[in-house]
Structure 1
Amino acid sequence: MGLAASAWQLEQARQLLEHFQPVPGQKLNLPPASLVTERAVALALQIAPRHGKPRAQGVITLRCDSAAGLALDRHHHETLEQMRAEGARLVEVEQLAFDRQAPLLALIKPMLQVLSSPVKTWEATDILAECTRLQAAFYCGQLGFKRLQNRPPNRADKILLHLPSTRLVALQSRHLPEIRRPD
């Protein structure tokens, strides 16, 4: 798994995201491959091609905090501002999708490597994600995220999750023996 570096790889990422997270009537607008200053798209390509072409098995899009803020600011502004005031350098997981037919254990370690890239590239200290309760079980159980706060009343279906860079480094340094498929 690595950063998408070509238009073809970005197209593969877009197709996988649209397949697993369809947005009716809307095409996903992924950034050009050369634009990695505030946003990065990472994907895994299948080693053994199907029907003669490799295809994406997993996609993660990340956004670095900037003067414009993050999408999470719409619903968690106070929490994010408090983190920023304490010196946190934030990164948001915008989207994460993977082919459910791909072996999960083979994707976890590369996903953790991709999540660690903003720690190095953008000097991020904290990675955040907002997701449903079902998705939170995966993020927490497989990727080491923890619930940051209770759900705001207007977003009862969404949970804010947090992965500090220190926990991510600890997860990467292990051989990940405790990783298992979510129930």
Structure 2
Amino acid sequence: MLVKRMYARRGYTGSRHVLDEHNRVTLTATDKGEVVGTVTIGIDSELGLMADELFKDILDEHRARGARLCECTKLAFDLSERSRVPLANVFHLALIYARDLYDCTDVVIEINPRHRRFYERMLGFRQQGELKINPRVNAPAYLMHLSLDYVSEQVERLGGTFDTPAGSAERSLYPYFFSPREERGIINRLLRMDEHHISS
């Protein structure tokens, strides 16, 4: 599969699954057969999003302006330097999946306060609303928001440049995202797979 080949080019592999009954799909990054991280992407629907439990008022404001929301949950990665490549790759794949297969325009994520700066600095997320206690994990959580237009702009400017002087000088994760050319190949492949799934 093209996605796996592009992942493997950087020393990792990825697996993709179809949406479950809750409109969620989980992507997994593995290194030599060992899982190094996962992310679940949820697509907004009549079922809503998990973040609605705490932040429905904010999400409804986005919906009212016409946003098509998705959310990242169960993002399980070691947020150290050595995890930058698999984290960037699997996160990029998740956003491609949401944006190009399900027409999402915005992504939200609930995160522990100690991770807020990471998501702001590395991906451009911005805090929305106040700190709340998430009963699902019995821990404090911020709601963070990111426009997928912003992601597209960063990929066009920085994607695939991690081994260049410009990419090395950039502090965000975007140089570790797939290049624009790689991204277009992934999108085309996923769209063909989706068409085949619908017709079969």
TM-score, normalised to structure 2's length? 0.64
Aligned to 1:145: 125
Aligned to 1:57: 36
Aligned to 2:103: 123
Q: Could you give the per-residue CA deviations for residues 67-126 of structure 1, whole angstroms, max 9, x where no partner exists?
A: 011111111111111111110100011110124578223224302333232011110000
- More displaced 10-residue stretch of structure 1: 165-174 or 85-94: 165-174
Cα 1:77/1:101, change in 2 over 3 Å: closer
Q: Does 1:41 align with 2:21?
A: no
One-letter identity of the residue aligned with 1:161: M
Q: How does 1:69-148 map to 2 (within 5 A)?
A: 69-99=48-78, 103-110=82-89, 111-148=91-128
- SS of the aligned residue for 1:138 comes to helix
> Separation in 2 of the partners of 1:87 and 1:130?
21
Aligned to 1:4: 15
Between Structure 1 and Structure 2, how many residues are aligned?
Answer: 147
Structure with greater proportional strand content: 2
Q: Could you give the per-residue CA deviations for residues 15-54 of structure 1, whole angstroms, max 9, x where no partner exists?
A: xxxxxxxxxxxxxxxxxx44358211111110xx3xxxx1
CA shift, 1:142, in A, is: 1.6
> Separation in 2 of the partners of 1:149 and 1:101?
27
One-letter identity of the residue aligned with 2:106: D
One-letter identity of the residue aligned with 1:151: L
Unaligned runs of 5+ in 2: 1-6, 8-12, 174-200
One-letter identity of the residue aligned with 2:40: T
Cα 1:3/1:73, change in 2 over 3 Å: farther
CA shift, 1:4, in A, is: 2.9
State the identity as a percent: 24
Structure with greater proportional helix content: 2
Asked whether the equivalents of residues 123 and 172 of structure 2 are also in contact (C-alpha less than 8 Å), the reply is: no
Structure 1 stretches of 4+ with a deviation exceeding 6 A read none
> Separation in 1 of the partners of 2:15 and 2:124?
24
One-letter identity of the residue aligned with 1:179: R
Asked whether the equivalents of residues 130 and 142 of structure 2 are also in contact (C-alpha less than 8 Å), the reply is: yes
- More displaced 10-residue stretch of structure 1: 86-95 or 96-105: 96-105
Aligned to 1:30: none
- SS of the aligned residue for 2:42 comes to strand
> Separation in 2 of the partners of 1:84 and 1:100?
31
Aligned to 1:8: none
Cα 1:74/1:100, change in 2 over 3 Å: closer
Cα 1:85/1:118, change in 2 over 3 Å: same
- SS of the aligned residue for 1:150 comes to strand
CA shift, 1:180, in A, is: 5.9
Unaligned runs of 5+ in 1: 6-32
Cα 1:36/1:120, change in 2 over 3 Å: farther
RMSD: 2.6
